Amino acid sequence: MGQVQRLTRGQVKPYASIPRIDWSHPLAKNLIFYGYDIGGQVIDLVRGTIGTNVNTNVVRGMSQFGPGVQYPGTGIIAPVEFPHTSAIDNVTAAVPYSFAAAYYLTSAPGTGAGGGFGCFIFGSNDGGGFTDATIDVGRTGTADVDFCYNDNQIAVTGLSTVNKFHTALGVATGVSTQNNYFDGTLASTSAVNPSSNTHTAHQPVYNEYQPGGASAGNGVPGFVYYGALWSGRALTAQDAQLLHQDPYCFLIYPEDDMFMVGASIVDILMSQIWL
């Protein structure tokens, strides 16, 4: 039994089933968390843990890029939280590290509420308000995207829009150097020198500033398709393009599994090539 995999899937979820990670794919190297929206719930495909929907405002919805949790938006915090692990606790303790998310907003996010934050897309945070590796939108303007490295926020202005598939990738390449990618291209570089946070209660969270539901800011008006963390790895410009253009290329869906009976040698060889 083998697998013949499509080389390009695009931004639309190919199936409604639950995939698994292809650990032989280059993007899977050093991946310690990958929260995949299965429609109504989010599951970490690295450990198999299902996120906790903190309140009843989390509902299932449908977007043009597939089904998923539809967060209710401004003024309503409906977070999804995952338990912390030792790997996640220490993701920002040493460079390099990377964090990414894909999202789709159905309306403009609220700005400047709750301590100056907009809406939090995804991040690794703790109950004390330390934003280790976080992506948020709308802190100062509805089109602004913020990358947070150990409580140091880097703003990229004027890029985020509604009714469009967006990706954001933050990469800490060195102790005081960062690359901030948006929609697969380098949007800015930064040079903050954050102190290392090695707390013992960092959790991957969606749609909130910190675990426990006591979030600052506004809710996400729309969908967050995935959130991911890489430890000890600085993703590249090529990786950023792949995460935007073909974000599910390193996932294997049950529908991908098939017998290779009758498959040509070209099919078999091409299934082993990653672009």
What integer pLDDT is reported at residue 152 of this predicted model?
A: 82
Give just the sign of the alpha carbon dihedral 129, 131, 136, 139: positive
Is there a contact between 173 and 180 (Cβ–Cβ < 8 Å)? no
Gap between the Cα atoms of 61 and 71, Å rounded: 9
What integer pLDDT is reported at residue 220 of this predicted model?
A: 86
pLDDT in tens, 20-57: 999 999 999 999 999 999 988 899 999 999 998 877 66
What integer pLDDT is reported at residue 261 of this predicted model?
A: 44
Domain ranges within the chain, ordered by starting residue: 2-270
What integer pLDDT is reported at residue 199 of this predicted model?
A: 59
Gap between the Cα atoms of 114 and 126, Å rounded: 17
Gap between the Cα atoms of 216 and 116, Å rounded: 8
What integer pLDDT is reported at residue 27 of this predicted model?
A: 97
Gap between the Cα atoms of 136 and 239, Å rounded: 21
Query: What's the start-to-end Cα distance of the chain, in Å?
Result: 23
Gap between the Cα atoms of 218 and 213, Å rounded: 12
Structure tokens at 140: 């100062």
What integer pLDDT is reported at residue 115 of this predicted model?
A: 47
What integer pLDDT is reported at residue 262 of this predicted model?
A: 46
Block residue for tokens 């089933």: 17
Q: How open is the CA angle 23-33-8, to the nearest 5 degrees?
A: 50
What integer pLDDT is reported at residue 147 of this predicted model?
A: 92
CATH number of this structure's domain 2-270: 2.60.120.200
Tell me the average confidence (pLDDT) per consecutive run of 10 residues in the chain, 275 residues long.
59 93 97 93 95 78 90 76 83 89 90 62 77 82 87 86 96 93 96 66 82 65 94 97 96 78 49 48
